Amino acid sequence: MDVLERTRALLAEHDPAGTDRLDFLRARFDAGLAWVHFPPGLGGLGAPRSEQAVVDAELAAARAPDNDPRRIGIGLGMAAPTILRYGTEEQKQRFLRPLWTGEEVWCQLFSEPGAGSDLAALGTRAVRDGDGWVVDGQKVWTSIAHAARWAILIARTDPDLPKHRGISYFVCDMTDPGVEVRPLRQLTGEAEFNEVFLTGVRIPDTHRIGAVGEGWQVAQTTLNNERVAIGGQATPREGGLIGVVADTWRARPELRTHELHQRLLKGWLDAEVIRQTGERLRQQLTSGQPGPEGAAMKLAFARLAQELSGLEVELLGEEGLGYDDWTMTRPEVVDFTGREAGYRYLRAKGNSIEGGSSEILRNVIAERVLGLPAEPRTDKDLPWKELPR
């Protein structure tokens, strides 16, 4: 039975019109139609990744419910591929199904006040205690931590080793009494980001992903997938922000100028190049895990989002300066196209920071894609405990 036949069988057995949303999503996962390239029993069929589009199109035509991917993007795009590659069978069985259905939201505890661009310098400690670990430290810029059930966490387990080698990777229970989540209000007025304080948080060793001390290697899988998830999403032509700006241009001829027209044309071409490049990148993923090439997609996405949001504000003139609501909220999704131009302009400023700053991504591209000489790093072989802080 091919994927189309399996999808039609799912719809015949679980009519979306009369089936509870969560029940349908669970049935879809169990049928191997969640992510068809995953192994059987884990929401997939071991089929080519390209066949997911067949499943998605058939389900969309039947008005079947989806799993609200914007809300659970960290779980889908970062935690799931990491667990699949490095997790034990027990971890895969425990976490992947409720992750995909959206029953359990995930966040990412990586960045720290003193370890953002230089992530490997992180200082959050995990100390072995019997059959588990005790974690103390602080994380920052954590999206959706206020709604998360679980977190992917990297912490230092051996301060005597160089900074890249003394890190381990864990799954952290965000309901542990030692986890405190505080909102970080942004330029937009929202607080989608958080700072997270970890005080005596206990993590069982069964929630360690990968071997002790190999957390940096595991984290590279997470980071590479994160960049693809942010910059390489599938979109139709004129999808996303370029579509919003183009629609305004067509509907408001009185706003047009020659200079703005030239910028719109350049933005449209850049958006199409990024879209087509993203499609090629997704096709390459059928043969393995994403590599550093995803950094280029994320870098290009951030630049274009800032250029287009700025163009939209200038195109609208005084109208572009309006802002509907500055009340502090704690959203669970970022809605770029559902708000006004002023919001998009401010929120896009974060695109060049989140998911790896543009400056760091340029280093990744230079060293790991183009093969240029690496910058001198005098601290690479020093024990972490001897690094100046």
* 118: Cα separation from own chain's centroid: 19
Give the pair of three-digit tokens for residue 118: 């230089």
- The answer to whether 226 is a known catalytic residue is yes
Q: Which of 360, 224, 218 is nearest to 288 (CA)?
A: 224
Give the pair of three-digit tokens for residue 250: 């067509």
**Catalytic entry in 112, 192, 226, 307:** 226
Inter-residue contact 231 to 278 (CB < 8 Å):
yes
Inter-residue contact 76 to 29 (CB < 8 Å):
no
CA dist., res. 147 & res. 154, Å (int): 20
Give the pair of three-digit tokens for residue 273: 């190049």
- SS3 state of residue 135: strand
Inter-residue contact 36 to 47 (CB < 8 Å):
yes
Inter-residue contact 123 to 155 (CB < 8 Å):
no
Inter-residue contact 36 to 58 (CB < 8 Å):
no
- SS3 state of residue 201: strand
Inter-residue contact 138 to 201 (CB < 8 Å):
no
Residue 4 one-letter amino acid: L
Measure Cα distances from 124 to 79, 90, 140, 214, 355 in Å.
Answer: 20, 26, 11, 16, 20
| Residues found in the chain | 389
Inter-residue contact 348 to 339 (CB < 8 Å):
no
DSSP string, 45-99: -S--GGGHHHHHHHHHHTT-----TTTTHHIIIIIHHHHHHH--HHHHHHHHHHH
CA dist., res. 97 & res. 109, Å (int): 21
Could you list the active site residues?
226
